[in-house]
């Protein structure tokens, strides 16, 4: 066997018809090769205890003691156990594959956009997320009644396709004030703090360290040392950004209630309350304050050391730099 682009041993939740609702992979692997890949050859789908015991023996012989121990522990699972292998970095074809890809991101094994998530929404079922795990919406009323008959309450925390990340993965070195606001499939680098109003979607995240008090939409990547102020927004590929991947460079500040619809370079600032989209008309000012050119904000995408502000009297959007007019013209009309 050659190599794998991902592998996970996990536990599956199913509805009454045996259809998968989610999958939990405690120790997912990325880019598996060598003796471990050979031990995993042909290991896919639901596994019984005999298969798990045999797998544990093979993994131990291959030198993967940690995964071997997990395989042995899973013989005690009360729910179905699944082995999921990703032979190539292609779109997921099952709930189990979709959840493995989301786990790989949240475990920091791959970064956002590094794994193909095409068709993800069509695969994931919309379920009720409860303290007892996911519940098929068609079965929810009976489950609620059963709980009441036992004198209990079945708490439904959300109805969604995506669960919160911390029920599956809690990365080291982070703070999350409100865990429901970080979805599985988010990437949180070491040193990331997500405050109560912060939000991080799947296939998005932070390099860390950074302070997140605003919204990181699907597909958005935030560089280290950057701060997203309270109530600010980033325009993701699912929320109007189209195919443009919005990113925030290092040491940037997006002010409170501001917004971003273009990629930013390093050390950029958007003042509070200002939303900069690709079509926003921006007057570019040199260090003396003179206007060099007025253009669409998309022409400034990816540039560093920019300050976006709104003129207090005219309301015009301005971009300040520390460059001279000659340097600015070279920068604005470069083809890179």
- Catalytic center residues: 213
CB atoms within 10 A of CB 72: 17
Closest CA to 134 of 175, 83, 99: 99
What is the rounded CA–CA span in Å between residue 211 and residue 193?
5
Q: Rounded to a whole number, what is the largest CA-CA distance in the chain? A: 77
| Bridging pattern class, strands 221-222 and 247-248 | parallel
Euclidean distance between CA atoms 173 and 188, whole angstroms: 9
Contacts with 295 (C-beta within 8 Å, 6 or more apart), sequence order: 281, 282, 284, 332
Q: How far is CA 329 from the centre of its chain?
A: 37
Spatial separation of the C-alpha atoms in residues 160 and 152, rounded to whole Å: 23
Task: Name the phi and psi angles at 192, rounded to 5.
Answer: -80, 135
Pairing of strands 3-4, 253-254: unpaired
Measured CA to CA, the distance from residue 50 to residue 183 in angstroms comes to 35
Sign of the torsion formed by the C-alpha atoms of 87, 92, 97 and 99: positive
| Euclidean distance between CA atoms 158 and 82, whole angstroms | 25
**Helix, strand or coil for residue 132?**
coil
Task: Please measure the distance between the N-terminal and C-terminal CA atoms of the chain and give it in whole angstroms.
Answer: 42
């Amino acid at each position: 066997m050659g190599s794998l682009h991902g592998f996970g041993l996990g536990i599956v939740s199913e509805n009454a018809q045996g259809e998968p609702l989610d999958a939990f992979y405690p120790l997912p692997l990325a880019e598996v090769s060598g003796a471990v890949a050979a031990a995993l050859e042909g290991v896919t789908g639901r596994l019984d205890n005999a298969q798990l015991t045999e797998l544990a023996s093979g993994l131990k012989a291959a030198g993967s003691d940690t995964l071997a121990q997990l395989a042995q522990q899973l013989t005690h699972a009360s729910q179905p156990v699944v082995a999921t292998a990703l032979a190539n970095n292609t779109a997921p074809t099952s709930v189990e594959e979709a959840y493995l890809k989301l786990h790989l991101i949240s475990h920091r094994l791959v970064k956002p956009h590094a794994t193909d998530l095409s068709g993800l929404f069509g695969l994931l079922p919309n379920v009720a997320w409860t303290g007892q795990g996911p519940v098929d919406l068609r079965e929810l009323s009976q489950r609620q009644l059963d709980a009441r008959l036992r004198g209990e309450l079945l708490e439904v925390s959300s109805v969604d396709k995506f669960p919160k990340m911390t029920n599956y993965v809690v990365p080291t070195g982070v703070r999350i004030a409100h865990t429901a606001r970080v979805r599985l499939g988010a990437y949180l680098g070491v040193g990331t703090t997500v405050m109560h109003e912060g939000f991080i979607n799947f296939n998005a995240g932070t390099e860390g360290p950074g302070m997140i008090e605003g919204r990181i939409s699907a597909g958005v990547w935030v560089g280290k040392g950057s701060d997203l102020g309270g109530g600010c927004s980033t325009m993701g590929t699912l929320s109007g950004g189209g195919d443009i991947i919005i990113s925030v460079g290092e040491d940037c500040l997006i002010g409170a209630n501001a917004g971003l619809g273009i990629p930013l370079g390093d050390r950029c600032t958007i003042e509070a309350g200002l939303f900069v989209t690709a079509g926003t008309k921006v007057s570019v000012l040199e260090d003396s304050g003179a206007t060099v050119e007025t253009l669409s904000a998309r022409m400034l995408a990816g540039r560093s050391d920019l300050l976006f502000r709104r003129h207090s009297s005219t309301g015009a959007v301005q971009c300040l730099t520390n460059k001279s007019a000659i340097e600015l013209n070279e920068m604005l009309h470069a083809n890179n």
